[in-house]
Amino acid sequence: MADKISLKDTISIGIGGMVGGGIFAVLGLAVSIAQGGTPLAFLFAGLLAVITSYSYAKLSQKYPDRGGTVKFINQGFGVSIFSGAINNLLWVSYIIMLSLYASAFGAYAPNLLAISSNTTIDFHIYASGIIVLATAINYYSIAVVGKIESYAVIIKLIILIGFIGVGAYGLIGNPNLSQLAISNWESPVQLFAAGMVIFVAYEGFELIANAAPDIVNPEKNIPKAYYYSVIFVIVLYIIIAIVTVGSLPFNTIATAEDYVLAEAAKPMLGKIGFTIITIAALISTFSAINASLYGGSRVNFEIAEDDELPHHFTSKLWNQPIGLLITAIATLVLVNILDLESISTAGSVGFILIFGIVNWVGFKCTKDTGSNKIIPICGCVLCLMALVILINQQYQSNLTGVLVSLGVIVLCFITEWIYKTSEKKKKT
């Protein structure tokens, strides 16, 4: 019998999945779009995550499966071209998240140790190198991946909570505190759009679904794990956003957009603070890459097992699913050709669409799950609204991100249609 997972460990999975590289990668991006209203942008994104976690909690209780989101979508739509395309989108969204984490690692690492005099070259060396290292660790031992993740969650939370404590004290008398005034907020639609661009910082709670079959006392602990972890992370992100915007002038945040959290530690702790946060960012993004490589390869394996991808994907290479190597190679390509905002937009579009569909499944299965119909349908509508607002905002400021996002979705549907059609022909 597999070891059972306690409530505390399940909450750690949720928090660890969310507080990965996301906050380090997208905080500067959020400020550039939302300005003084950045804390509100994180709140908007968090509320969408809370509503969606209700559907996840109910579906995880009724259909506990290590396939998590993949199984929920198949439960709602059967094994079809639609479900296959959306499940493939989930796998591609993992790859996009990996690119985001590697991008953050590549942005922070040169501040600690520059390899060359060119920061762009250093970025590509570090971002590519960390993917190669994490892939090697995944091939070497899955147990090591788990150990790294459990220690990293504790280290990054201690450092982030320390940053909040020192940062809040440093806000007293700081002239930049006035940047949080309502007069410095962007319009409500722009704030909501900013929240949706950085929604990727919340997507990790869905990892709890994969652990559902092994959770102790699932009826009580599954909902608690979702709600406690999401609410904790919302509060954490909002306070980090307040400290950052209240500590640094907007022009400094814009200059250090890719490593703004480290820059925000400078006013209080100087170079030492900058170094500590940089180290926390490197540990966080490295552990997130490690865990997401493992998760991404498993999602790929589950999809192939459900006959939504060729069965070649269930084969193994060096004792790991072949999807691990494909995921790693695809991540290397993405991180070296796309900018941070395009990666973040593509990841957010993918996960908001997937979460909208999971909310719809939650609504369809209310009789079986015994859940309230209003919450999942509200989640579904909100996800659709979020998609429209996000794509509209990014269309005006970052056309590449929109084209990449829509291109990925279309490609997933075309790929699944070709596969299903060829399979049908083989059988006739």
- Nearest to 194, CA basis, from 386, 64, 412: 386
Question: Is 2's pLDDT higher than 70?
Answer: no
Question: Is 1's pLDDT higher than 50?
Answer: no
Of 133-147, 295-309, 357-371, give the range with the top mean pLDDT: 357-371
pLDDT at 3: 64
d(CA 209, CA 358): 12
Residue 49 burial class via C-beta count within 10 angstroms: exposed 0-12, middle 13-18, buried 19 and up: buried
pLDDT at 397: 86
Q: 152-156, 175-179, 317-321: lowest mean pLDDT where?
A: 317-321
pLDDT at 103: 92
d(CA 380, CA 403): 23
Could you read off the pLDDT of 168-211 as tens digits, one per residue? Answer: 888 887 888 889 999 999 999 999 999 998 888 898 898 889 88
Contact 375, 56 (CB under 8 A): no
Question: Is 22's pLDDT higher than 90?
Answer: no
Q: What domains does the chain contain, in order, with CATH numbers?
A: 7-420 (1.20.1740.10)
User: Which has more pLDDT, 98 or 21?
Assistant: 98
Average pLDDT over residues 50-55: 96
d(CA 55, CA 372): 9
The H or E element spanning position 174 is none
270: alpha, beta or left, given left = phi > 0 and alpha = psi -120 to 50?
left
Average pLDDT over residues 347-355: 93
Structure tokens given for 50: 């809370």
d(CA 275, CA 130): 19
d(CA 21, CA 201): 8
pLDDT at 313: 77
User: Which has more pLDDT, 144 or 117?
Assistant: 117
Residue 274 burial class via C-beta count within 10 angstroms: exposed 0-12, middle 13-18, buried 19 and up: buried
Our measurement of the distance from residue 341's CA atom to the centroid of its chain's CA atoms, rounded to an integer in Å, reads 14
- Nearest to 386, CA basis, from 191, 98, 184: 191
* Helix count and strand count (H, E) for the chain: 18, 2
Could you read off the pLDDT of 379-399 as tens digits, one per residue? Answer: 999 999 999 998 988 898 889
Point out which residues pair with 5 in neighbouring strands: 215
pTM of the model: 0.89
